[in-house]
Structure 1
Amino acid sequence: MKKICSVEIVGGFLSWGKTSFINSYLEVTRSIEEILVIIQCEKGNSKINEEFLSEDKIIIKQFKNNDEITERTLNRIINFNNPNRIIIEANGVQSVDYIIREIHKSRGRLGAVFAILDGKTVDIFIRSMGVIMLPLIHMANMIIINNCEDISYEKNRELKVLLGQLNKEAYIEQSSSSKDFYRIISSSRVINKGLYKKIIDFINRG
């Protein structure tokens, strides 16, 4: 039986902390043995940590937009690189719906969907760009409201209530800044380092 490749999505607008989240996420969840492909659909200010780029088991592929992540593209990456996981850093100005449909058609299996949101402006973006924001929020398994140190306690509470109404199943976390991602991920009840690796290993042995 062929190895199953989990395909995870990290979404959010430019400069909201997607790449910083991926760096912290890799520190917590990756195992030395696994081959991992990171697909970036936009180029922000942050970069994948150099220590990861020096490892031959972590492969970076860059595209211009979400529409390039087709069934054919995913299958080519899976066939050529034989990864255990693919992490897609989605383009923030396009809906993730297309990527999710292509994943379902490919040899990959949709894994976790993470929504990284900026606490200062996310409510404005939901109102003005709901066609892009709402699919991501609705599909997310985990929502992180970033930059909460820059907003009031009342707004923090209102955002958590709003997002909880839009997605009743997601785990919602609040971070003071991107520097807080590692603490949130490593202490999360959802993302447990040891358990996560055991699940991935079990799936890949299937």
Structure 2
Amino acid sequence: MKKIPVFFINGMLDSGKTTFIIDTLTNDNKERKAKTLLLVCEEGEVEYSEELLKETNTYKHVFDSIEEFDYKFIDKLIKNEKPDRVVIEMNGMWELSKLQFPRVLEIVQVITFIDGSTFNIYFNNMRQKFNDIIKKSHIVCFTKVETSESLAPYQTALKLINNNCEYMLMDENLRAQDAFEEPLPYDIEADVIKIEERDYGTFYIDTFDHKERYEGKIVEYDTMVVLSDKLPFNSFIAGRFIMNCCADDIQLFGFLADSTLGMNLKDREWIHLKAEINYEWSEEYNEEELVLKPISIDRISEPKEKVLDLTK
């Protein structure tokens, strides 16, 4: 069965979804004249003109509620219109997990638009909703924001939600640039990189984004010990529990440390760890994985706040 590609455009009302789709239809479809099935789940101030739909060989259908978004009905639309691709302008308030699609469809790209001028309010009050949306995105575009300064405080939280997607700033002319370019909060060139508690999330993310910065470097920080029978002999996980959304979303973010240096470490005890950073190939993840080579381990008292709360 030949799959039909689906381009999923998500986000809250008035974040720029329709403008982006209009631009895409206009520029991308001029030459190919591919048949597009446009499924609109939310209508804002910007509208699709009949002229545009005709010129771009696009058939539009509007859904007024999530109950109407029925995969059997969509399947009928596909059989009637025989599209080369499907573009879905999603309602950002709908529960994506409740949506069902015909088997002939294949989601190839999810782009989420966020109004940068109101992002801080929505993110702080509707974090679980943003969590669900961003987790499934390939690209996140912030509109109505001139610089990344207002977004900088949220960089770590966003990348912990989804570090595999691209975060972009998009201006009114739909020109895009990287959303996050702020300096690191610690000295990456120091003989020993010292990571404060508040900077652990940034450090964790950056070791994945920029491996070349950390190979062979010495790092030290306070960390929790996590033991498991599934780990290699004499090794442990050095990490922290982080709350990025709510209490139900607390996750462990840590690295494999390949030696206890002969110490009888206990699960969930706290240590001050000094270690060399190496990247080694992982058969389990089929990629290079950061491995800590401990230089010194000192037991410490557990911190007052054992879970790093990024919602504050």
TM value normalised by structure 2: 0.51
> 1:26 matched to which residue of 2?
25
Deviates more, 1:120-129 or 1:109-118: 120-129
Give how far 1:124 is off: 2.4
Aligned CA distance change for structure 1 residues 63 and 138 (closer, same or farther; 3 Å): same
Equivalenced residue count is 176
* Higher helix residue share: 1
> 1:13 matched to which residue of 2?
12
8 Å CA contact 1:71, 1:106 repeated in 2? no
Once residues 112 and 56 of structure 2 are traced to their aligned partners in structure 1, the CA distance between those partners, rounded to angstroms, is 28
> 2:96 matched to which residue of 1?
96
* Matched letter for residue 108 of structure 1: L
2:179 matched to 1:180?
A: no
> 1:201 matched to which residue of 2?
none
* Higher strand residue share: 2
Once residues 118 and 72 of structure 2 are traced to their aligned partners in structure 1, the CA distance between those partners, rounded to angstroms, is 36
Q: CA RMSD in A?
A: 2.3
2:63 matched to 1:71?
A: no
Of 151, 157, 165, the residue aligned with 2:152 is 157
Once residues 22 and 159 of structure 1 are traced to their aligned partners in structure 2, the CA distance between those partners, rounded to angstroms, is 27
| CA distances 1:33-55 after superposition (whole Å, capped 9, x unpaired) | 31101111111000125542223
Once residues 107 and 174 of structure 1 are traced to their aligned partners in structure 2, the CA distance between those partners, rounded to angstroms, is 33
Once residues 138 and 170 of structure 1 are traced to their aligned partners in structure 2, the CA distance between those partners, rounded to angstroms, is 9
Give how far 1:86 is off: 0.8
Q: Identity rate of aligned residues, in percent?
A: 22
Provide structure 2 residue ranges, at least 5 long, that are not aligned to the other structure: 178-312
Q: Secondary structure at the match of 2:123?
A: helix
* Matched letter for residue 72 of structure 1: K
8 Å CA contact 2:36, 2:86 repeated in 1? yes
Once residues 36 and 164 of structure 1 are traced to their aligned partners in structure 2, the CA distance between those partners, rounded to angstroms, is 33
Once residues 138 and 107 of structure 1 are traced to their aligned partners in structure 2, the CA distance between those partners, rounded to angstroms, is 24
Q: Secondary structure at the match of 1:114?
A: strand
Once residues 19 and 56 of structure 1 are traced to their aligned partners in structure 2, the CA distance between those partners, rounded to angstroms, is 15
Once residues 38 and 83 of structure 1 are traced to their aligned partners in structure 2, the CA distance between those partners, rounded to angstroms, is 9
Give how far 1:98 is off: 2.5
8 Å CA contact 1:18, 1:89 repeated in 2? yes
Aligned CA distance change for structure 1 residues 153 and 62 (closer, same or farther; 3 Å): closer
> 1:199 matched to which residue of 2?
none
> 1:35 matched to which residue of 2?
35
Aligned CA distance change for structure 1 residues 22 and 73 (closer, same or farther; 3 Å): same
* Matched letter for residue 9 of structure 2: V
> 1:54 matched to which residue of 2?
54
Aligned CA distance change for structure 1 residues 170 and 37 (closer, same or farther; 3 Å): same
Which protein shows a greater Rg? 2
8 Å CA contact 1:94, 1:132 repeated in 2? no
Q: Secondary structure at the match of 1:8?
A: strand
TM value normalised by structure 1: 0.75
Deviates more, 1:82-91 or 1:19-28: 19-28
Once residues 58 and 35 of structure 2 are traced to their aligned partners in structure 1, the CA distance between those partners, rounded to angstroms, is 6
